[in-house]
Amino acid sequence: MSMHFFNSLTRQREPFVPLEGRRVRMYACGPTVYNFAHIGNFRTFVFVDILRRHLKWRGYELLHVMNLTDVDDKIIRDARAAGLPLREFTERYVTHFWEDADALDIERPEVTPRATDHIPEMVALIGRLIHCGCAYHSDGSTYFRIASFPRYGVLSGNKLAGNIAGGSARVEADEYEKDDVRDFVLWKRTQPDEPTWDSPLGPGRPGWHIECSAMAMKYLGESFDIHCGGVDLIFPHHENEIAQSEAATGKPFARYWLHAEHLLVDGRKMSKREGNYYTLRDLLDRGYRARAVRYVLAAVPYRKPLNFTLEGVEAAERRLKRLNETVRRLREAVPTTTNQVDETAKVVADIRQSFGAAMDDDLNTAEALAAVAQLETTVNIALSRGELTEAAKAAALAGFEDVQAVLGILDPAQPELLPADIEALIAERLAARRAKNFARADEIRAQLAAQGIILEDGKDGTRWRRA
C-alpha cells in the first residue's frame, strides 16, 4: 500500500512518488524567532515531525530542511524595543524554540538554516530574477513583477492581492513605488535604525519570501519533493515562493505542498487579548506534560482544525498513562511457555498493518490511534488471561515501537528501583495479606499511596506504579 498525501497545489489526494527513488527532499517553513512559539505553531511543527517520522519509518532516506526566520519587521521592532542587536535578540528565541521542540520530542531536521546566514544566496537569486526580467529596482528596493509569471495564483487561487472591499486603498497608498500593487518586495531599501546588508542591489535587507526559496534551493536543489507549513502561509508566502523560484529556474519548485490547519483554543482563534493564548511553557507551568500536549496536537489529523482545550490535555494525560502502563506491563511480562494456538500474534500483526495503512493515508492519526487502542486492548486481554506467548509479546512490542517511531507519544522505558524501606513495606504487606491481616495490609497500601506509590495486586503478585 502506497502513501498518499493531499496536495494543496492540485487540491487532490495523490500517491506520493519522490523524484529520486527512496530519497525524499522536504522543506518546512520554521519559526520566526521573535518570541516564544505558541501551541498553534507547535501544531504545525508536530505535524511536520510526524510526516518526517512516518517517511523515515517507511524506509525513505530523508533530507529535511527547516529554516529559522531571524530577520523581519517584527523581529526588528522587538529587538529594538529590547535594546539588543538583532542576532543577540534572535539567538535567545532560537534557543527557546529548540528547548520546546525537544520537550515535545520533535526530531531535529537535517538542516536548520538561518535567514541571515544566507543573504548572499538570496541576493544571487534576486539577481537571476532581475536578469530574466521578473524583478525590478524602484526607489532603492527590488520587487518581483507578478505580471511576468502567468501561473501566479496556482496555489492559493488568489489572482489579485488587495481585493478586499475597502482594503485596496490602503495597499495602494503604501506601495506607490511599485509598478503593480500586486508586486511584492524581494529586497528592502535600507532604513534608519534597521539592520542592513550591503549588496549589488544596494544596501538593505531581504523581503520575507525570498529566504525560503534561496535556502530550499541551496540545500534541496531547484526541484524537490515536499514543502509544508501552516495554512496561513499559502498566501502570500508560498504563492510568492513558487513565483520567484519557478520564474528564476524555469523548473517546478516543490511537487507536493502540505498545509496544516490552525488550531483554535476553546473554540476560538487563539489571541493574547482573548486570554486563550498558550505557549508550551504556559502549559508545563500548569503541570501538564509535554507528551500530553504532543498527543493532543497529534490526535487530530493535520488537515482538520483542532480545538485545543485544557480538558483535552487532561484527557490525553489519562489516555497516555494507561497506554504507558500497558506497555510497561508488556515489557515486564513473562511469556507463557504452554504451547497453544496463538491467535494474539496474528491479531497484533493485523493491527500493525492497520496502523501503517492509516498513516499512509494522508497521515490519518485519528485512525492510527484507533489501531493503537486495539493493540492495547489485545495485549491487556492476553496478559490478564496469561496467554501471551513469546511471539505475541515480540509482535506487540514491535507494534508499540512502530507507534513510538511515528507518533512519538510514549514514555521511554525507564526501569526504576524503589528505596529499600519501601520494598520492605511491600514485602511486609505481602506477608500480612498471606496471614489475612488485611488491616495492616491496607494500612501499608494507604501509607504508600500517600507517597505517590500505588499498589496493584494481581495473580502474579503485587505491582507498583507511580500515581
Partner RNA sequence: GGUGGCGUAGCCAAGUGGUAAGGCACGGGUCUGCAAAACCCUUAUUCGUCGGUUCGAUUCCGACCGCCACCUCCA
Annotated binding site: 29, 212, 237, 241, 272
Least CB distance to RNA at residue 13 (A): 9
Residue among 162 and 203 whose Cβ is closer to RNA: 162
Residue positions in the annotated binding site for ATP? 272
Q: Residue 127's Cα: distance from chain center in Å? A: 34
Residue among 251 and 268 whose Cβ is closer to RNA: 268
Residue positions in the annotated binding site for Zn(2+)? 29, 212, 237, 241
448 near 441, Cβ under 8 Å?
Answer: no
Residue among 349 and 432 whose Cβ is closer to RNA: 432
Distances (CA, A) of 430 to 421, 434, 458: 14, 6, 12
Least CB distance to RNA at residue 157 (A): 5
Residue among 157 and 203 whose Cβ is closer to RNA: 157
d(Cα 75, Cα 79) in Å, to the nearest integer? Answer: 6
Three-state DSSP at 273 gives coil
Nearest Cα to Cα of residue 459 among 348, 347, 336, 376: 336
Residue among 126 and 161 whose Cβ is closer to RNA: 161
348 near 326, Cβ under 8 Å?
Answer: no
The DSSP letter of residue 419 is: P
Sign of the CA dihedral with 217 first, then 219, 225, and 229 last: negative
d(Cα 33, Cα 91) in Å, to the nearest integer? Answer: 8
Q: Can you tell me which residue has the cell 523548473?
A: 251
Least CB distance to RNA at residue 420 (A): 22
Least CB distance to RNA at residue 299 (A): 6
Q: Residue 46's Cα: distance from chain center in Å? A: 2
Least CB distance to RNA at residue 364 (A): 5
Sign of the CA dihedral with 219 first, then 221, 225, and 227 last: positive
Residue among 424 and 467 whose Cβ is closer to RNA: 467
Least CB distance to RNA at residue 115 (A): 12
297 near 306, Cβ under 8 Å?
Answer: yes
Q: Please, what is the Cα angle at 216 between 212 and 220, to 5 degrees?
A: 175
